[in-house]
Structure 1
Amino acid sequence: MIYEVRTYRLQVGAIGEYLRLVGTEGIVIQQSYLGQLVGYFSSEIGPLNEITHIWAYRDLEDRRQRRQALQADPKWVAFLPKIQTLIVEMQNKILLPTEFSPLQ
């Protein structure tokens, strides 16, 4: 199992609109392709105006195939511009659990 951690820094004041758009349109499209959502978070302390979402995949090939299918969906392609204008910076990490991690 691998975990993808995606963090977006948003424009100041844009978290409400971003979460509204993802919650009413985007997450349904994403979950139909990406599968296991581990969590979707907003920051409260530390760097503000950040959204972090974590997805679990069997391996990098599973991730590649799922993300490729998502990117090909016309509904996703139409949705993306709605949130892209709110995002200032994007970071992405792939995490591998250790042998003693409770999440494997």
Structure 2
Amino acid sequence: MDVKEVTPELHKVKPAAVEEYKKTAEAYYTAIKEDPDLHVKLTGSWEAVVGEQDTFYHILEYENYSGYDKTTQKIKASEHLKTYSQLIPHLTGRSQQLCQEFAFFPTTPPRTEGGVFELRTYQLHPGALLQWEHAWRKGIEARRKFVEPVGAWFSQVGRLHQVHHMWQYPDLQTRKETREKAWQLDGWSETVSKTAEYSMLMDSVILEPLAYSPLK
């Protein structure tokens, strides 16, 4: 895929329905990622363990907007729609964005390393995206000395002026130690300072991958 359109999907699930939701979500997302007629890649599926509880994240990749259009139309005309409709009774809310991948922050291919994932979301001041990207281009090499990013995306449809990036750690203690080491590097502390300057809100959610997630 040359140009990746990425759709983070967020599902808020009724607490009593979590286990049924997981079974149905596995059936749906496994089926669409294995369907050769659909031009879609499932990056991963996760459950929030620190952050808003009973919340699930699914990240899908498409080959540009035409790929998204074709895939969603095919799903609507297929048996996959029936499976997806079985998710709805378990939900209290859902949302979706259309995002584009940062070229300097390519999404990691499927892997099984274990541990936890951190999804960080920044609500930027309108007009600050280019400055944010410039700051991260300078600082990311310093951070890579300790941990490789999973991927990063910026919103194009949905909540605008928003940036997401994801990291993977063996555990929360390693996350803490890695972040402390990164602060000692010249390039990274400046990037963090600029990030705070360009942002209105920042969120961090700790996620655990579901059993069928390609990234886990």
For residues 7-51 of structure 1, the C-alpha deviation after alignment (integer angstroms, 9 at most, x for no partner) is 00100010011101211x111112122x12110110111110011
Is 1:56 matched up with 2:135? no
In structure 2, C-alpha distance between the alignment counterparts of 1:101 and 1:58, rounded to whole Å: 17
- Give the structure-2-normalised TM-score: 0.44
Is the Cα–Cα contact under 8 Å of residues 123 and 199 in structure 2 kept in the other structure?
A: yes
Read off the aligned partner of 2:125 and give its amino acid letter.
Answer: Q
- Give the structure-1-normalised TM-score: 0.87
In structure 2, C-alpha distance between the alignment counterparts of 1:58 and 1:81, rounded to whole Å: 26
Unpaired runs of 5+ residues, structure 1, are none
Give the alignment partner of residue 86 of structure 1, picking from 189, 193, 198. Answer: 198
User: Structure 1 residue 65: deviation in Å?
Assistant: 1.2
Paired residue for 1:27? 140
Is the Cα–Cα contact under 8 Å of residues 116 and 208 in structure 2 kept in the other structure?
A: yes
Read off the aligned partner of 1:22 and give its amino acid letter.
Answer: W
The alignment partner of 2:176 has SS state of helix
Which runs of structure 2 are paired with 1:1-104 in the superposition (5 Å)? 1-23=115-137, 25-33=138-146, 35-104=147-216
Is the Cα–Cα contact under 8 Å of residues 119 and 207 in structure 2 kept in the other structure?
A: yes
Is the Cα–Cα contact under 8 Å of residues 124 and 162 in structure 2 kept in the other structure?
A: yes
In structure 2, C-alpha distance between the alignment counterparts of 1:62 and 1:82, rounded to whole Å: 25
User: Structure 1 residue 76: deviation in Å?
Assistant: 2.4
In structure 1, C-alpha distance between the alignment counterparts of 2:134 and 2:120, rounded to whole Å: 18
The structure carrying a bigger helix percent of its residues is 1
User: Structure 1 residue 79: deviation in Å?
Assistant: 3.7
* Larger relative contact order, structure 1 or 2 (CA cutoff 8 Å, min sep 6): 1
Unpaired runs of 5+ residues, structure 2, are 1-114
The CA RMSD over aligned residues, in Å, is 1.5
When structure 1 is superposed on structure 2, of 68-77 and 39-48 the one drifting more is 68-77
When structure 1 is superposed on structure 2, of 67-76 and 10-19 the one drifting more is 67-76
Read off the aligned partner of 1:50 and give its amino acid letter.
Answer: Q
Q: 1:72 to 1:8 in 2, by over 3 A?
A: same
In structure 2, C-alpha distance between the alignment counterparts of 1:41 and 1:83, rounded to whole Å: 15
Is the Cα–Cα contact under 8 Å of residues 36 and 57 in structure 1 kept in the other structure?
A: no
Read off the aligned partner of 1:31 and give its amino acid letter.
Answer: R
In percent, how many aligned pairs have the same letter?
Answer: 29
Across the two proteins, how many residue pairs are aligned to each other? 102
